[in-house]
Structure formats: structure tokens, C-alpha cells
Chains A and B, each alone.
Chain A
Amino acid sequence: MFIMLLDIMQINEGGGFVIIQDTVDCSGRQLLRGFVNAALKREEVIHVLGFEVCDNEFRAGLDSRCTQRLCFHDGYTDPLGWTDCPPFTVHQFIPQEINTCLRRSEELRGVMLVIDSLSWILRHHSPAVVCQRLQELRRGGAVRSILVLLHSDMHQQGIVGSLCHLATAVILVTPGMSGQHTVAKTTRRTKSGRVTRGEECFSVSEDLTVTIEAQISGSGNTQAEPEQYEPDPAANLTFNLRLSEVEREAKEKLSLPFVFSQEKKSALLRPRPGAGRILYEPDANDDFDQEDPDDDLDV
């Protein structure tokens, strides 16, 4: 079975941009921290721009052996720079500054950048500028992948749409029907343009492991379906439709009427003077289609 949510969590391809969209009904921060936990276990270096929760709260529950690879840029205490020396402000969200922050960690492989949350930044910068800066961060060498939390009910539809247009994967977190578990609807887009969708019911435990409770509708891989067993149409009949070996040989040996012998055929095929030629040139109206149209028949 192909679980999209876990797949996105495990894949750490370069240039990836994952957006977790949540609403006031259901928070996506637990899922975000679950992703961070999984990435830490994969020994990745993570830099977090935190604006909504403080450092301790973000690190709560993360595996203590791996937390030295997590670098938290504190935008929670003073995001707008009202005091004299703020640790990190919203106005510092410029690619050059972020790249210098990240290069300090001397990580060769590239860093995963987590933004909690992008809605804070969108309140203080125009959306077009934010899109351009995110795109520049993706292209630059220091950041390998970006994971972002976005509160979709805080912004206009157009802003959310523009950001999701840039993303490689979008996970929408909504409360489940039964009220117990949360549902994640994922849409993933590959570079070649292939789009896959999935919907899973998940839960995040105390130690931040994401477990999938149920898969509501898997878009999945259709090629992984087992070959459907087709009943043999010639079985269970009152008459015999099959051929035995002897009968098959006799059938092939049968010479059809109006079929010439090989010598006559080759004699006829030799080019003779005065024979007509077929000169065919396909023009614009001839759509040459190599697929057999009879394959579509459902009869």
C-alpha cells in the first residue's frame, strides 16, 4: 500500500517545498513537528524560523539525542524588533540574510528549512515578494528543502493559491468525521507534471511519531493493482470450443482457397515494367495513430 503522507515525510529530495495547510479547527503543528522528528532521525540538519511558539515548546517531545542538529531562530520573543537586540525578526526574511545564517552551520549536504509559520511573514511582507524570496531560497545552494506551516483561513484565497502553485506537495489538515482522528489530504506534483492525491487519517503520538490510522482514498499507484483474473470464456460450456494439438496442426496445414504458392507469390511481387506505383503522402487530415482504436471498446 502506498501511503502518501509517509512517503512525503521520507523523501528529502532537493528543491522540495512542502506546505502544511491548517485551519483554526485543527492545528497542523503536531504534524509539522512529526515531520521534523522524522528528519532528525534521518540525520538532517534543520533550521527553524519560529514565530508562533517558543523554543522550548517546539522542542518538546523531540528525540533528545538528535536535537543538537536542530537550530532554532527565535522570532517569537521579538518578531518586529522593538527591543534593541532582537534575536530574529520578520524583516530578516531575506535570502541573503538567511543564507548567511545557514552557512554558519557548515553543512555540506544542504539544510532543511522549517518555517513556523509562513502566515506571520505574510502579514508583514507582500505575497509576491514572499513567493519570490522562497523561490530564490530554493534555488540557492544552502537550503535543500523547505517545510512550511500555513494557516489557510488567515489569508485570501489568491495568496494561498499562489503559494500552493509553487509547492511540490500540499498537505491539508482537517478534523476527521468521527472527531477523533485528523485527516490529511495530500496533493503532490512532480516536475514532469504528474499529480497524485491521497487522503489519510493519521495521529501523532507523544513522541512525535506519525501513525496512519486509515487510508480513506488512496490515489496510489494504479500499476500496483494485481492482475485481474479473467475467467476463461471457453470453459463451462455445453459445446467444445478448444482445439487439441492434432486439430491445431491440421488447421494450420489447411491451404486456403485463392492462396498462391510461394513461387507464384514471389514472381508476382517482382517489379514488372508498367506496373502502377502507390505514392501516398499523408497530409494534414491524416492523423496517423499507432494505437488500436478497438482497445477502447468496452463490449
Chain B
Amino acid sequence: MYTELVLPITVCVIGCETEIESLIGYIFRRLTSLPLAAILARSKMAAPWNSMSNSGPEQKARLPCNPTSFQKKSRSNFISIPGTRPSVQNGQLIVSTGVTSLDYVIGGGLAVGTLLLIEEDKYDSYSRMLVKYFLAEGVVCGHSLFIASARDHPDEVLQELPAPILDDIASPRIEEGQGKLCDPEGQDSMKIAWRYQNLPKVQTALASSSRFGHYYDVSKAMDTEMRQAAKCTSFFLPDELTLSSATGPSQMNEGYRALLRSIQGVIRNQGFDGSTPQKSRNVLRIALPSLGSALWGDDICCTESPGHAASLTTFLYGLRALLRSSLSVAMVTMPAHLIQNRAIMDRVTKLCDTAIALESFRGLEREANPLYKDYHGLLHVKQIPHLNCLVCEVPDTKDLAFKLKRKQFTIERLHLPPDLSDTVSRLSKPDLAESAKLLSSGCGSTAAGKKHLDF
């Protein structure tokens, strides 16, 4: 007979926030056998706390202001790879996509072992930019890269990676700035806010790979040494296949089969699936731009009833199986506006984990909505995965717009600018109350605009 004894335990802890969290985590770990990561993941304080333990050079600056003397003694249950961190929502290991606003939109980042699908905009300008950000983030974090392309040679893509905005001198500058006397004739001397003269300017990024998600400067290309330090495998379709060979009858066409075999080879040989021991664990980032276009030998972009409609979906199925069993993450872009059969696109979306679509305003006529003049395009989130959880984190608004600035790719909520024209009509009071209620409950809700009912 097995009896269970449940003891309610009440613990009352008085102290500052970081202390409470770490102390509660410590107590629970001793009492139950749940891993520490899952408990900490439920609290919002997990992210900066873990990054504190990971970063080396920052600890010196932090120790004087560290208010608690609590030291975590447990061994960590999750593997610590540079450039990754556990998600605060479901405890999965996530990597950054290279664009911090995109990380926020898809729920913190891209989980290792999943597939991100980006439906390209009409001229493939912004989706290409996202692939470059993804690869640049991999270089900065020290991950391995795999690029496959049918159109341009992968080396050309690698040469166009944006340079990261790094500033390694953030910490020593604090002491320097306060040491020297201020120079009243210097160009930094401020007339009114002179007390802040000697403080260092706010930097956007600290030293690389201790921070999750970096910023990149699109106008500059990445240094060749940094780029060559990254381990990169490339797959260029015309080199791998001879074009005159006939495609035999099979579920997947030749191009996809060769690509899948190549990815499998890289994962196995370099030990991302644990088969061969690696001296230090690392993540493989796979970028597949313009998959499904006619250059891959696939005719789903050309006709409504393609000959091998299942070729691409079989490939994605195999790719996802490879990703789930290894420490890799993949980003695929697809020219969805060319795919004629909507059913294929729906199947492809279901087979990928996270799916977003870009719709750019580039090349549209001038009569475009003046609402859109601040942005470069709209971003639609089609699907967000449920990874080991019942409910996933969805962004609270569905109207997102993006803008590519020189130092940042921002994704913002699309909101109406104030209507300053003279012809705008003033609403009467009951209408105002009604519309205020509708707006506050979010766009897309019951927006019937009914007047208040009189019974």
C-alpha cells in the first residue's frame, strides 16, 4: 500500500526580489525533484539572473552592487552553450534570430530543434535581410552555419553579412570618465545638464556573446576575420547536381534529396546529434533562402497542379525530423506569393514550427495608404509552436509593421496616427464611449459599431 502524505508548507521570506526568487528556488529544489530551470522559468526574473551567472567580465562590475550573498550550489541541468538561454515561457533552449524585435514577436527567440518559415515579400528584399541577420548572429555567437542556395553562391551571401555593433570598452569607461577633470571648453560640455557631462554614453550592446541578441549595422559589412572564424558549410545546388540528369520517379525531387542528405551528413559528422563527441556543445544554424522556387527544380511556383506536389512537404518533414534529433535550428524562406495552390502553402505552414509572412510596400504605387508611410511593410505572424506546453505566447496585437533602419530592424504595432485634418468629424459622446470600448478590447474583436440600444 502506498500512502501519500501531503504537508502544506508555508514559507515566509522577507527580503528583496532577487533574494526571494533564489531562495524559493533553492527550497523547492531540495523538497521536490523538479529541475531548477523549470521552476525558475516560471518567474520573470529568470533571464537576467541566468545571464549574470554566464557572463564573466560583467561579474566584476556587478559584485559591488550584488545585494545578496546567496550562491547557487546546484549543478545546472541544462547545457550552457554560448548564444543560447532557456526560455522564460517554457524552459526550452532558445537562440536569437538576430533581430531582437522578431525574437520578442515569436515568443523570446527561436527554440533549438525547430524550424522558422518566412514567407518572402514580393521582391525578396527584406526576407533576404532576415537571413543575413540570422547568419550574422550565428557568427557573433560562435555557432556553426549551413547555407544552401540555388540562386546566388552562398559565399556571396556570406560576404554581405552586416557588421555587429560591439563595444568592448563599456566597463572601463566608467572609471575613466569619473577620473579625469571635466574640460569646460570641450565639445561635450553641456550648459544645463552639466552634472551628467562625464558619464559615459549609453551603449547599445556590450561585449559579444554575453548578451542575448545583438544589433547590426546594415551599411557596413562584417570583418573578414570574424566571418572566417565561423565554421560554415555551403551547398550550392548547381554544383551538387548535374542539370542534364533526368529525375527518376520518387517522392522528393533530386535537389531536395541532395540537400537533405547533405544536412544529415553535416549533423552526423560534426556531432550535433550527439553521435560523435564534440569537445564543446554547439548549435548548427541552417539557412535555406528561397526554397521552393523554380531554381530548385520544383514546379509548385509555376502551375496550380504541379507534378510533384508532395516534394517540398516531404523534404520539410525530413528536415524537421533531423532538427528535432539534433542541436540545430533552421530558417527557411519561401516565395509564397508565387505558389499557386493555397493548399500546398497551408501544408507547408503546418509542417514548420514558427511561420511569419512579410508584405512589403516597396514597389507599390504612390496611392498607398498614408497610414503606411512610416513603415516598410507589414509582418503577419501565421503560426507559433506549442513546445511542451498547452498554450503558447501570442503577441497581443495582430497588426505589426516593420521598418528596416540602419542599425535596427524594428517591428512595431501599427497604430493610427492622429488625424490632424480639419475635415475630421467630431463624434458625439455616446459614439465616443462605444468606440473607446471597442478599441480597448483589441483589433479584430466584435467591431460591429452598434449604437447603444434602447429598449
Interface residues of A (CB under 8 A from B): 94-95, 126-129, 131-133, 135-136, 139, 156-159, 161-162, 165-166, 187, 189, 192-197, 217, 259, 262, 265-266, 268-271, 277-284, 287-291, 296, 298-299
Contact = CB atoms under 8 A, between A and B. Distances in A.
Given A133-B243, A287-B101, A277 B174 contact: yes
Contacts of B191: 259
A157 B198 CA distance: 63
14 contacts: A128-B297, A135-B151, A135-B295, A165-B294, A165-B338, A189-B123, A194-B362, A197-B363, A269-B182, A278-B199, A279-B61, A284-B212, A289-B405, A298-B420
B136 to A, nearest CB: 16
Contacts of B128: 193
A193 B202 contact: no
A159, A165, A296 pick with most chain B CB within 10 angstroms: A165
Contacts of A158: 301-304, 338-340
A265 B198 CA distance: 12
Contacts of B276: none
B338 A162 contact: yes
B198 A282 contact: no
A289 B407 CA distance: 9
B410 to A, nearest CB: 7
B195 interface: yes
B408 A287 contact: yes
Given A165-B338, A269-B181, A289 B297 contact: no
Nearest to B300: A158
Contact of B303 (A94, A159, A277, A280): A159
B137 interface: no
Contacts of B299: 126-128
Contacts of A157: 340
B294 A132 contact: yes
Contacts of B21: none
B318 interface: no
Contact of A162 (B199, B204, B293, B408): B293
Residue with the highest number of chain A CB atoms closer than 10 Å, among B65, B198, B335, B340: B340
Contacts of A189: 123
Q: Is the interface of A mostly helix, strand, loop or mixed?
A: mixed
B295 A288 contact: no
Given A156-B303, A259-B192, A266-B181, 15 more contacts: A132-B243, A132-B294, A135-B295, A158-B301, A162-B338, A165-B124, A166-B295, A217-B365, A266-B184, A269-B198, A279-B174, A284-B212, A287-B408, A291-B405, A296-B374
A129 to B, nearest CB: 8
Contacts of A161: 301, 337-338
A94 B304 CA distance: 26
A95 B242 CA distance: 12
Interface of B: 47-48, 61, 65, 100-101, 103-104, 123-126, 128-129, 150-151, 174, 178-179, 181-182, 184, 191-192, 194-195, 197-199, 202-204, 206, 212-213, 215, 238, 243-244, 293-299, 301-304, 335, 337-340, 362-363, 365-366, 374, 405, 407-408, 410, 420
A289 B197 contact: no
A194 B104 CA distance: 27
A265 B123 contact: no
Of the listed residues B194, B197, B365, the one surrounded by the most CB atoms of chain A closer than 10 A to its CB is B194
Contacts of B407: 290
A127 B301 CA distance: 9
Contact of B294 (A131, A217, A291): A131
A128 B199 contact: no
B202 to A, nearest CB: 6
Contacts of A165: 124, 293-294, 301, 335, 338
Contacts of B243: 95, 129, 132-133, 136
Given A132-B243, A193-B128, A284-B212, A269 B303 contact: no
A266 B182 CA distance: 6
Highest count of chain A CB atoms <10 Å: which of B103, B296, B362: B362
A270 B197 CA distance: 11
Contacts of A139: 238
Contact of A262 (B184, B296, B297, B365): B184
A159 B302 CA distance: 4
Contacts of A129: 243, 297
Given A162-B301, A278-B199, A271 B179 contact: yes
A166 B151 CA distance: 9
Contacts of B123: 189, 193, 195
B410 A287 contact: yes
A40 B104 CA distance: 55
B125 A187 contact: no
B297 A132 contact: yes
Contacts of B178: 271, 277
B100 A284 contact: yes
B298 A128 contact: yes
Contacts of B174: 277, 279
B213 A284 contact: yes
A127 to B, nearest CB: 4
Contacts of B100: 284, 287
Contacts of B363: 187, 195-197
A132 B125 contact: no
Contacts of B195: 268-269
The 8 closest A-B pairs by CB, nearest first: A193-B125, A131-B294, A195-B363, A127-B302, A271-B178, A162-B294, A158-B340, A288-B204
Contacts of A194: 125, 362
Contacts of A131: 293-295
Nearest to A199: B365
B127 to A, nearest CB: 10
Contacts of A279: 61, 65, 174
In this complex, the member of A189, A269, A289 whose beta carbon has the largest number of chain B beta carbons within 10 angstroms is A269
A252 B181 CA distance: 26
B309 to A, nearest CB: 13
B362 A195 contact: yes
Contacts of A159: 302-303
Contacts of B213: 284
A128 B302 contact: yes
A112 B344 CA distance: 38
B408 A289 contact: yes
Contacts of A287: 100-101, 408, 410
A221 to B, nearest CB: 15
B407 to A, nearest CB: 7
